[in-house]
Structure 1
Amino acid sequence: MDVVVHLISGIGGEQDTSFAIVENLLDADADIDELVVVAQSQGIEAVTAGGETEHKVRSLLDAGVSFVACRNTLDTMDLDESDLVDGVDVVPEGAVEVIRLQTEGYAYLRP
């Protein structure tokens, strides 16, 4: 099973919930093949280097979770790829990436 988690909130509690869900999916006895977190809008803060959740992102990257950030959001917030945690990829548009993954059969989760 493939899963995409859509991280669009800048609210700490919602970000914490998103990370907890990802960790639970990794720990569960589920047949997870691919797990992707798409960060967009205020959710981009969660994948920014030096942020409060950098250690969580690094840990999840090490566990095989893929993270992608929305280029449109980076441009809107005047951020560069170098502002992201190492290992976070960039896609042109986060919503389009979520839709693309869903059409490929990924289950969609948005806490």
Structure 2
Amino acid sequence: MTAERSDVQTVFHMIEGDEESMDRTLTLAGNLADDDTVDVDSIVVLAQAEGIDPLTKGGHGESEVQSLVEEGVSFAACSNTMEMMDLEESDLHDGVEVVSSGVGELTRLQNEGYAYIRP
């Protein structure tokens, strides 16, 4: 079966704090970025709650996050989560955007046609 090429916008929701879940989310985002049968327009990994850890300096999976940023994957961190966990923007990797709320950003992206994936 040959896959048709189409423009794709996808948001991965990283909310769980266990390492397996975070690794799975980052792996799937990378797999999509590397899939040459799909014309990927935009990939966003939105992190909130305990899922924010890989976006922090020294967090689990930080090298994978940096590699994905270099591949063009966007990362967004929920400011409500950051406040709750006493994190500052300086605690995040370069290239991570802070959004006002995770649920608001997910709603906005889905309204813009992004596919929602929560591994």
Partners of 1:96 and 1:26 in 2: CA distance: 24
Paired residue type of 2:107: I
User: Which of these residues, 24, 29, 33, is aligned with residue 22 of structure 1?
Assistant: 29
1:87 maps onto 2:95 in alignment: yes
In percent, how many aligned pairs have the same letter? Answer: 50
1:20-63 Cα distance to aligned partner (Å, 9 max, x none): 11111012121210000101010111111111211111100000
Q: What is the CA distance between 1:109 and its match in structure 2?
A: 0.3
> Which of 30, 46, 59 is the aligned partner of 2:54?
46
1:36 aligns with 2:36: no
Contact 2:80/2:101 (8 A) holds in 1? yes
Report what 2:10 is aligned to: 3
- Match for residue 110 of structure 1 among 87, 96, 118: 118
Write out the 4+ residue segments of structure 1 that deviate beyond 4 Å after TM superposition.
none
Which amino acid in 2 is paired with 1:24?
Answer: N
Runs of 5+ in structure 1 lacking a partner? none
Letter in 2 for 1:58: Q
| Rg larger for | 2
Q: Distance in 1 between matches of 2:90 and 2:31?
A: 29
Establish whether residue 75 from structure 1 lines up as the match of residue 103 from structure 2: no
TM-score, length-scaled by structure 1: 0.97
* 2: CA distance, partners of 1:95 / 1:56: 24
